[in-house]
Structure 1
């Protein structure tokens, strides 16, 4: 074994120029193929599976009907909620001036409608209970000291906290009480930026996200609040792609 390695070392020392030439030739030969791989690599099931697979055909039909658009999340964190909201609307205006952007969502679509008609989503028994509590409160105010309560309520203020807790738990916690995409503690807000073009390929999606990052990072968020921080929430496909490229 030692003799083999000694011979190998002597060969490399004597013909190192040949080894360098072969290495450069191999690199030159593989370079175009490597560039092609980096440009076309994808984690999309449509690109990874044969086109005649039933699952691929079904997914293509769904995409053709829905024309899904890519969404990229920009997240702001601060103890000053009003400052975050001002920053969000300023970012929204900047994002929507970009040619790649279809719209930027600061508030939840349809929130105003559901908030206006929220009583339609209560159970019938709960609506009856609300009516009964209001009726008793009206009677109490009318009769004053002459009002006699036969239960434990006494002079309690009109309160619906138990019903609020019930529906808050059912429909997703404290976030349902705000039109913004906000965390339960009120410190973290998000704005979702949608692409104008549907069904972006990998290169287009990367370019879209990079443009959003560049625009957001160009804003002086400290001018809104000294403790404001900026984060991004990219799509899984782009993250997977960049992880693959990094590993390669």
Structure 2
């Protein structure tokens, strides 16, 4: 009874293999279409209700101070002075983009230079403390009426040697420049969140267009511009995940198709040999 059922099933599959294959192809077409519509939502804020206090607070903070992190533009050139000229022109154009709150690319060097002794090395600070203590101890001894200074020595409190160490020394750099003096970095503060991929892609597109319109090669042929930072990484991560999902779906469909194909081949051979055996008997 059981064998009769499988024989009938095999006969049905063999006689309708074309229809089964056609139906399977239609099923694959629908699967590919709907799979292509799948979206990966990496913005966790969008997954939460707007009524949540944390979401409302985050929206307020973003409007006031911009998103968390930066969209980073890296300018690489053999001549760092040409990079500075290009960066100055680029910043003017970038700050016109609606998605950009501001661009951080220079530090107030004079402010820090005027206060550079607040940032001296720890060893020098300890030496200053040691000299001051010695001066205080000597003055205390002199103020003691019972103390007689036979040598009549005086200690002159002097920091000129320490000051000389920091003369002409760049405690703070005016630009964000790499140690090899070839890369200059611009930190772009966007108005939106990195998790909002539509915003991040729109921002990247606007920055790309601005750079292309400015034509960095006219400043120096060796200039190369690249992107990094939280916003760019979020875009790359999303693209990578979408690629992995598509590859998995495609691989599953191909594997399923191969299994069906080999199954139909197996059924065909089974029916062929079964009919041959019946004919010979």
- Give the TM-score range, shorter chain: 0.5 to 0.7
2:198 pairs with 1:203: yes
* Aligned residue in 1 for 2:93: 94
TM-aligned CA deviation for residue 82 of structure 1: 0.8
Q: Distance in 2 between matches of 1:228 and 1:6?
A: 70
**Residues 112-191 of structure 1: matches in 2 within 5 Å?**
112-122=110-120, 124-125=125-126, 132=158, 134=160, 159-160=164-165, 177-191=172-186
**C-alpha spacing 1:26/1:244, structure 2 compared with 1 (3 Å):** closer
**C-alpha spacing 1:16/1:82, structure 2 compared with 1 (3 Å):** same
**TM-score normalised by structure 1 residue count:** 0.62
SS class of match (1:103): strand
TM-aligned CA deviation for residue 219 of structure 1: 3.0
**C-alpha spacing 1:10/1:104, structure 2 compared with 1 (3 Å):** farther
The alignment's C-alpha RMSD in Å is: 3.9
Q: Distance in 2 between matches of 1:15 and 1:100?
A: 53
**C-alpha spacing 1:227/1:80, structure 2 compared with 1 (3 Å):** same
TM-aligned CA deviation for residue 179 of structure 1: 1.3
Structure exhibiting the larger radius of gyration computed from Cα positions: 2
**TM-score normalised by structure 2 residue count:** 0.56
Contact 1:72 1:233 in 2 (8 A): yes
Unaligned 5+ runs, structure 1: 52-56, 137-157, 165-173
Contact 2:112 2:172 in 1 (8 A): no
Q: Which deviations, in whole Å up to 9, do the C-alpha atoms of 1:64-90 show, x marking residues without a partner?
A: 675352521111111211100001011
Q: Distance in 2 between matches of 1:114 and 1:9?
A: 84
TM-aligned CA deviation for residue 93 of structure 1: 1.1
Q: Distance in 1 between matches of 2:113 and 2:98?
A: 33
Higher strand share: 1
Contact 2:100 2:189 in 1 (8 A): yes
